[in-house]
Amino acid sequence: MNNRQKKKRIRIGSTAKQRRRNKELCDRYPFLIPRNDWTDKICWVNKKFDNTLAEDFPRGWWKAFGLQLCEELREDLIKCNYLKEFRFVQIKEKFGQFRAYTGTLPKESKAVRIINKYSFLSENICIMCGKPDVPMLNDRWYSPYCYDCYRKILKRQDIYYSEHMEDYIPRTEEEMIKLYNSYICDKEHEMPNEYIIRHYSKDGDWDETIDISDTVKLIRDNWTKRNGAK
């Protein structure tokens, strides 16, 4: 845990209810316990269970697939008898994708493949609210946003600029929609039901097609349960 992450967690704070929830998470998924990368010492901010590595997930991605990812990792690690030994080195967003870097893993573990699957799908999941089937935007940096969340970002920017720029004219709804559409990288933004892994070897390279339709359906169903059909 670096200084930036620690300051962020101090600002967030924790309540007794949050600590109980964090304890439940850490008991089931020990790899969410924050640790020092060099000493492996547990790094609570103030009190025990006042923070977990779940806080390193961008909010929308944790809502969309955080528990789902952890459960799949747990099942795989139990099969490998490696649940308590597994460590996350870093969890973050990079180039609009979910990234999770791990420590060493048993040869038979599928943890990397599980993480890569969600990294691939995260490109079309809103990083703020977790809505599936949204486009990747390139607004100076790559990030997937639904229109509602991007609109909130623009509104906050408009409030700031209107207070500091006398000649600033707030955007209309039509201007916001036009701006949002202009930043879309790819018009096809539904989560795909499969993806291809390229394998390289001295005997020849080959492609493996991975069916992820069950995972895609689960993410969509969970969104519908939380938010309805909007």
> Is the pLDDT higher at 187 or at 209?
209
Please return the burial class of 30, using the count of CB atoms within 10 Å of its CB with bins 0-12, 13-18 and 19+.
middle
* pLDDT tier at 66, thresholds 50, 70, 90: very high
Give yes or no for a contact between 1 and 34, defined as CB atoms under 8 angstroms apart.
yes
**Structure tokens of 22?**
């964090």
Give yes or no for a contact between 215 and 160, defined as CB atoms under 8 angstroms apart.
no
pTM for this model (two decimals)? 0.85
Question: What's the average model confidence in pLDDT over 150-170?
Answer: 70
Residues 6 or more apart from 218 whose CB is under 8 A from it?
68
Predicted confidence at residue 11, as pLDDT, reads 46
* pLDDT tier at 130, thresholds 50, 70, 90: very high
- Phi-psi region for residue 130, left (φ > 0), alpha (ψ -120 to 50) or beta? left
Position of tokens 């799908």?
121
Predicted confidence at residue 62, as pLDDT, reads 96
Q: Which of 37-41, 109-113, 162-166 has the least mean pLDDT? A: 162-166
Predicted confidence at residue 97, as pLDDT, reads 94
Give yes or no for a contact between 220 and 132, defined as CB atoms under 8 angstroms apart.
yes
Residue 58 sits at the vertex; the CA angle it makes with 134 and 220, to the nearest 5 degrees, is 40
Residue 109 sits at the vertex; the CA angle it makes with 108 and 110, to the nearest 5 degrees, is 120
> Is the pLDDT higher at 95 or at 230?
95
